[in-house]
């Protein structure tokens, strides 16, 4: 095939044209071998720009196109679609990146222009040898896995299940509900958190399309978009859920008491326990680390009392295999440990507590039945300090980001405290009030005006104990004066951090996290619920600190992405993957452990060992191609022959 290539150079407004002389690029390329047309335009990706490319393809019978513009991650798809619509195989269109690789990183216009010309020439050489390819078709398993049973996971599971698809919901705790079920009331409406969440939990528990695995973890994930295979480890709970009727006799009689995780250590639970009365499923598990039988070999009282014989000390872990087409990761958050901020005395002073602990103190179902009593002596505190930005916004020592919800929940805390203790005094220490949601600013104003909460703008430097009182040392940054305030209880608005254990999970899923451990979305603006791994979606605080409305919206968004996929008959995979020349391959197998996608494996074909490629798993990274000692592995449209021609184009005059 004789090459008839068109080159289209984009100005990208001022982004490219300021640093690169686009006219000079066109002039230098116009007569390059194989090029029959070259032209520049202000926005090549715009409708008229694309129309221009199509018009030139028709008029000049082009059979290859090079667009010199921004990174191919932005517009490769755009331009490949453009040429495909006028009958050119999309893989005969390539992007020469003269923005990120050139104009944005250089300032000398002359040198940048020379470099842009070189970049364009290499890509022309590549296109000359590009094959016409067709996307690989992939079938879809129309079933979703949701990891995490907090509000995000619950919403994503319900939306997907209500659309008629099966959902596997995996939660590592004994019950779904996440942190939201611990909350007393939610801002800014002061709705009872349990009242709005429990109906959804029950719906999940009873939904015919949802298979719920609590006290379970994702052990292994293999496969790819549309065709994931998941191994789920059901932890030993030593209670047979089929027999257990949830009567609770076992819990009454268990002699062991340990601090309750659900109550944030402010109350006790038994070694056989349901985390909270509304738990779904409402069946207990045995905490072997504290159970007398497992620790000392004595007791078994729960077994004796169980009317249905549901206690099973011989129970084994169970591994369940499921096939799914899409995965929603909703792993949630934890609070940054108070012990990290030594100067505030959290963990050392009983009456310095975190936000979730205070939620439990406010909750009608909590350890104090909603009466605000401080942990040390059970007294109702008369002056409570609420400190925001503890561990957040501190790039030197702790977390550099803002945790987003603390301003609002501390305001709520102060307000609810004042409702419970009208003659008490609530003081909020803050740096900036971040009330950027609907009804939020009004909420803060209400706290100040109606509930007389005092707001002090200042960073707290130290908290110390003095005669049974906590003394807060701070600087009032508005008046510029130092101040000391003594109080009975201190609530710390701790930074939000990703859930522990999430690092291990992300390795299994092969998705990315940022420097702070939050899951990375595919694009910060336009693809907020997707990961860069096709078929894996994000929801909730695992991705970034956020409040309940945003979490719910994001969860429905993640569900919509899965539903969009399930609405299609099949998916398509990029065909620019590795290939193997079976005549040359010696079967040495070097490529097999190198492949990060498990796409290479040894097969014996006609008595000969061959390292074959699973085209659907292959992401075209090129690791195997580079490692192959014989040159048997080649990447489609990035063959050795192409690479040589590309380097010759810029090195040989």
Region 338-397 residues binding another protein, contact defined as CB under 8 A:
393, 395
Residue closest to 68 by CA, chosen among 33, 47, 94: 94
Q: Does 401 bind another protein (CB under 8 A)?
A: yes
Q: Does 186 bind another protein (CB under 8 A)?
A: yes
By CB under 8 A, name the one of 26, 70, 385, 410 that touches another protein.
70
Going from the C-alpha of 592 to that of each of 321, 578, 588, 595, the distances in angstroms are 25, 13, 9, 6
By CB under 8 A, name the one of 528, 534, 540, 575 that touches another protein.
528
* Nearest approach, Cβ of residue 215 and another protein (Å): 26
Residue closest to 350 by CA, chosen among 213, 463, 215, 199: 463
By CB under 8 A, name the one of 196, 299, 371, 592 that touches another protein.
196
Q: Does 329 bind another protein (CB under 8 A)?
A: no
Size of the residue set binding another protein (CB under 8 A): 81
Residue 573 CA to its chain's centroid (Å): 23
Q: Does 435 bind another protein (CB under 8 A)?
A: yes
Measured between alpha carbons, how far is 403 from 344 in angstroms, rounded to an integer?
19
- First CA to last CA across the chain, in angstroms? 26
* Nearest approach, Cβ of residue 484 and another protein (Å): 20
Measured between alpha carbons, how far is 25 from 36 in angstroms, rounded to an integer?
15
For another protein, the closer of residues 50 and 63 by Cβ is 50
Element (H, E) at 50: helix 47-60
By CB under 8 A, name the one of 545, 578, 585, 649 that touches another protein.
545
Q: Does 73 bind another protein (CB under 8 A)?
A: no
Contact 300, 313 (CB under 8 A): yes
Going from the C-alpha of 241 to that of each of 231, 283, 318, 435, the distances in angstroms are 20, 7, 13, 45
Going from the C-alpha of 441 to that of each of 191, 193, 241, 610, the distances in angstroms are 17, 21, 47, 66
Please list every residue from 404 through 423 that binds another protein, using CB under 8 A: 404
By CB under 8 A, name the one of 437, 587, 589, 622 that touches another protein.
437
Stretch that binds another protein, among 189-197, 218-226, 592-600, 627-635 (CB under 8 A): 189-197
Residue closest to 381 by CA, chosen among 412, 407, 413, 405: 413
Measured between alpha carbons, how far is 9 from 498 in angstroms, rounded to an integer?
44
Please list every residue from 249 through 278 that binds another protein, using CB under 8 A: none
Q: Does 43 bind another protein (CB under 8 A)?
A: yes
Compute how many other C-beta atoms are within 10 angstroms of the C-beta atom of residue 14.
Answer: 10
Q: Does 14 bind another protein (CB under 8 A)?
A: yes
* Nearest approach, Cβ of residue 454 and another protein (Å): 15
Beta partners for residue 163, in sequence order: none
Q: Does 514 bind another protein (CB under 8 A)?
A: yes
Q: Does 525 bind another protein (CB under 8 A)?
A: yes
Measured between alpha carbons, how far is 313 from 294 in angstroms, rounded to an integer?
9
Please list every residue from 153 through 182 that binds another protein, using CB under 8 A: 158-160, 162-164
Measured between alpha carbons, how far is 107 from 128 in angstroms, rounded to an integer?
31
Q: Does 400 bind another protein (CB under 8 A)?
A: yes
Strand (E) positions, 150-200? Answer: 166-170, 185-186, 191-192
For another protein, the closer of residues 196 and 301 by Cβ is 196
Contact 83, 53 (CB under 8 A): yes
Stretch that binds another protein, among 124-132, 302-310, 329-337, 516-524 (CB under 8 A): 516-524
Task: Output the six-digit token pair for 582.
Answer: 């079976």
Q: Does 553 bind another protein (CB under 8 A)?
A: yes
By CB under 8 A, name the one of 264, 322, 488, 550 that touches another protein.
550
Q: Does 552 bind another protein (CB under 8 A)?
A: yes
Measured between alpha carbons, how far is 395 from 399 in angstroms, rounded to an integer?
6
Q: Does 540 bind another protein (CB under 8 A)?
A: no
* Nearest approach, Cβ of residue 444 and another protein (Å): 9
Measured between alpha carbons, how far is 446 from 488 in angstroms, rounded to an integer?
24
By CB under 8 A, name the one of 3, 4, 32, 78 that touches another protein.
78
By CB under 8 A, name the one of 255, 439, 596, 631 that touches another protein.
439
Contact 34, 47 (CB under 8 A): no
For another protein, the closer of residues 297 and 480 by Cβ is 480
Contact 491, 453 (CB under 8 A): no
Please list every residue from 466 through 495 that binds another protein, using CB under 8 A: 478-480
User: What string marks each residue from 567 to 606 as x (binds another protein by CB under 8 A) or -?
Assistant: xx--------------------------------------
Q: Does 327 bind another protein (CB under 8 A)?
A: no
Stretch that binds another protein, among 74-82, 214-222, 353-361, 446-454 (CB under 8 A): 74-82
Stretch that binds another protein, among 139-147, 360-368, 421-429, 525-533 (CB under 8 A): 525-533
Q: Does 47 bind another protein (CB under 8 A)?
A: yes
- Phi first, then psi, for residue 630 (nearest 5°) are -100, -10
Going from the C-alpha of 282 to that of each of 36, 211, 273, 275, the distances in angstroms are 73, 16, 10, 9
Q: Does 533 bind another protein (CB under 8 A)?
A: no
Q: Does 402 bind another protein (CB under 8 A)?
A: yes
């Amino acid at each position: 095939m004789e090459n008839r290539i068109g080159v289209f150079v984009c100005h990208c407004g001022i982004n490219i044209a300021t640093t690169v002389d686009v006219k000079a690029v066109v002039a230098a390329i116009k007569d390059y071998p194989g090029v029959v047309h070259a032209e520049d335009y202000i926005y090549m990706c715009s409708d008229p720009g694309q129309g221009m490319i199509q018009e030139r393809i028709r008029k000049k019978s082009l059979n290859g196109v090079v667009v010199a513009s921004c990174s191919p991650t932005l517009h490769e798809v755009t331009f490949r679609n453009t040429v495909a619509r006028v009958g050119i195989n999309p893989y005969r269109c390539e992007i020469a990146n003269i923005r990120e690789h050139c104009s944005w990183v250089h300032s000398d216009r002359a040198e940048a222009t020379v470099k842009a010309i070189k970049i364009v020439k290499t890509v022309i050489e590549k296109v000359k040898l590009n094959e016409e390819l067709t996307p690989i078709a992939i079938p879809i398993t129309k079933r979703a896995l949701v990891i995490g049973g907090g509000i995000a996971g619950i919403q994503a599971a319900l939306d997907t299940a209500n659309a008629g698809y099966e959902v596997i919901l995996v939660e590592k705790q004994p019950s779904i509900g996440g942190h939201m079920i611990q909350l007393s009331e939610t801002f800014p409406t002061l709705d009872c958190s349990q009242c709005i969440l429990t109906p959804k939990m029950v719906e999940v528990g009873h939904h015919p399309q949802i298979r719920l695995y609590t006290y379970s973890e994702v052990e292994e994930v293999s496969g790819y978009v549309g065709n994931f295979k998941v191994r789920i480890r059901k932890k030993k709970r030593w209670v047979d859920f089929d027999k257990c009727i949830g009567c609770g006799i076992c819990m009454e009689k268990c002699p062991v008491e340990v601090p309750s995780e659900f109550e944030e250590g402010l109350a006790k639970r038994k070694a056989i326990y349901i985390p909270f009365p509304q738990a779904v499923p409402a069946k207990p598990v045995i905490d072997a680390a504290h159970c007398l039988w497992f620790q000392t070999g004595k007791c078994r009282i729960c077994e004796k009392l169980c009317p249905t014989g549901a206690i099973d000390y011989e129970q084994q872990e169970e591994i369940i295999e499921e096939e799914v087409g899409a995965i929603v990761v909703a792993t949630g958050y934890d609070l940054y440990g108070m012990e990290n901020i030594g100067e505030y005395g959290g963990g050392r002073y009983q009456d310095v507590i975190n936000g979730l602990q205070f939620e439990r103190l406010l909750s009608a179902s909590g350890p104090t039945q909603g009466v605000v009593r401080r942990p040390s002596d059970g007294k109702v505190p008369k002056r409570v300090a609420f400190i925001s930005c503890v561990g957040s916004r501190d790039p030197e020592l702790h977390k550099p980001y803002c945790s987003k919800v603390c301003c609002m929940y501390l305001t709520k805390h102060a307000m609810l405290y004042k409702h419970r203790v009208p003659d008490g005094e609530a003081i909020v220490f803050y740096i900036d009030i971040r009330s950027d949601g609907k009804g939020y600013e009004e909420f803060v104003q209400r706290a100040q005006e109606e509930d007389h909460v005092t707001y002090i703008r200042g960073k707290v430097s130290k908290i110390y104990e003095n005669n049974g009182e906590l003394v807060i040392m701070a600087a009032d940054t508005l008046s510029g004066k130092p101040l000391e305030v003594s109080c009975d209880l201190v609530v710390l608005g701790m930074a939000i951090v990703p859930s522990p254990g999430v690092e291990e999970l992300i390795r299994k899923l092969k998705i990315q996290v940022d420097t702070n451990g939050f899951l990375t979305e595919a694009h910060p603006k336009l693809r907020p619920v997707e990961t860069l791994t096709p078929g894996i979606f994000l929801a909730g605080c695992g991705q970034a600190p956020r409040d309940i409305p945003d979490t719910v919206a994001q969860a429905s968004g993640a569900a919509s992405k899965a539903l969009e996929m399930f609405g299609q008959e099949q998916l398509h995979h990029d065909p620019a993957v590795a290939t193997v020349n079976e005549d040359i391959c010696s079967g040495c197998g070097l490529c097999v452990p190198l492949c990060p996608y498990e796409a290479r494996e040894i097969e014996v074909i006609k008595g000969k060992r061959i390292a074959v490629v699973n085209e659907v798993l292959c992401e075209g990274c090129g690791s195997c191609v580079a490692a192959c000692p014989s040159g048997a592995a080649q990447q489609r449209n990035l063959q050795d022959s192409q690479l040589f021609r590309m380097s010759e184009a810029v090195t040989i005059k």
